[in-house]
Structure 1
Amino acid sequence: MTALQDLKYAQWFKGADIDGDGFITQRDVRAMSERYLDARNTPHDSTTAHRLTAGMEEFWINVIAPMDQDGDGKVDLREMTQGFKQALTDPAHFPEQVEPVSNCFFDLVDLNADGRIEQDEFQLMFHSIAGAPREDCAHVFAALDKDGSGALDRAEFHQAVKEFFYGNDPDAPANHLFGRIAA
């Protein structure tokens, strides 16, 4: 794990710690879903809401909860960083480690189901779920839109997520996916 990855993971942690208490709990993960549904004006009893809630529950069970080394039901920054360090060692494992969650978010963020995430959809997701400032979202989106199409296709989105979790390039725009980091 590099110092850059530590910075990125700390930024991710900051966005996931919804209540700001220094821990990620199952309640924080649920709150991420609720914030996104509220930002989309999506009823909490809709099919979309149930799908997001189920996906985030799986994320808690399969990714975050196993990082809880002391069994207290919450994950602090040290536990999360150690968990990522142990789990995310090789980008070749992206398809089984991160891609399923990434696909779920891509499908949910693609509000008009056209197979692309436009800038407004991107900003809604990263601002409402991760708390990333809107101006950071716009800058990052422009850098990630490699083909200049005005939207991210699934491949561009996966590349950004993969670069965030596994990458070590200090100039990669995906470093700031969950808000600007101070590198």
Structure 2
Amino acid sequence: MSTALLKRKLDQSFARLDTAGTGYAERADFQDVGARLIRGFGQSPTSPKGKAVAVRLEAVWAELAAYADTDRDGRISSAEYEHGMTKAFIEGPGFDPVFHPCAEAVAELCDTDGDGQVRREEFAVLQRAFNTPVSDISAAFNRIDTDGDGTLSTQELVAAIRAYYIGTDPEAPGNWLFGPL
């Protein structure tokens, strides 16, 4: 993967986590994203979908922190995030056993009626939980909706998440997961 492309995607995803603008991502940031997702989709943290998202986000944090939080201060700088994401998920062994199940849990949460489809409005709830600028949400959906049917299958959404984090194709629709890079 192009180092420049990787850096842009990781910088963008880090910015989605560092919502307070502190320059760090912490466990609480992952928990906050989870809580916004769960609330946004009208679930309780104790519902099966709510628990699945919370548990999977915690696993992503733990895996990332194991590689990134080298000084063990409980927070990850942008540089540590880039290093940790690369070592844990991009080059390392963690994507399939840790990150992929989290992506599936999030996609299942987005599919509010269980039909295997994520509608534009559901995608917008997901994006707002990650603080994606409202002006970027429609463009992201349109790029990821590769068949143009106005919905994303849960598999399409998971594939977009995979392409965003570990894909090597600079033209991949998944690179638009959080809007333009």
After TM superposition, the score normalised by the length of structure 1 is: 0.85
1:104 counterpart residue number: 105
Q: Give the 5 Å matches for 1:36-75.
A: 36-75=37-76
Equivalent residue, structure 1, for 2:150 = 150
The CA RMSD over aligned residues, in Å, is 2.3
The range that moved more, 171-180 or 142-151, is: 171-180
Is 2:59–2:98's contact at 8 Å kept on the other side of the alignment?
Answer: no
Once the two structures are superposed, residues 91-140 of structure 1 have per-residue CA deviations (whole angstroms, 9 ceiling, x without a partner) of: x9853353211111111111111111111111110122x11122311111
- The match for 1:89 is 91
- What is the distance in 2 between the residues matched to 1:96 and 1:58? 10
Cα contact 1:26–1:60 (8 A) shared by 2: yes
Gaps of 5+ in 2: none
Higher relative contact order (CA 8 A, sep 6+): 1
Q: Tell whether the 8 Å contact from 1:68 to 1:75 is kept in structure 2 after alignment.
A: yes
Cα distance in 1 between the residues matched to 2:162 and 2:45: 30
SS at 2:31's partner residue?
helix
Distance 1:174 1:133 in 2: 17
How far has the Cα of 1:66 moved from its partner?
A: 3.6
Q: What are the ranges of 5 or more consecutive residues in structure 1 without an aligned counterpart?
A: none
What is the 5 A alignment of 1:115-130? 115-128=116-129, 130=130
Query: How far does residue 79 in structure 1 lie from its aligned partner after superposition?
Result: 0.6
After TM superposition, the score normalised by the length of structure 2 is: 0.86
Give the aligned length.
179
Using the aligned pairs only, state the percent identity.
27
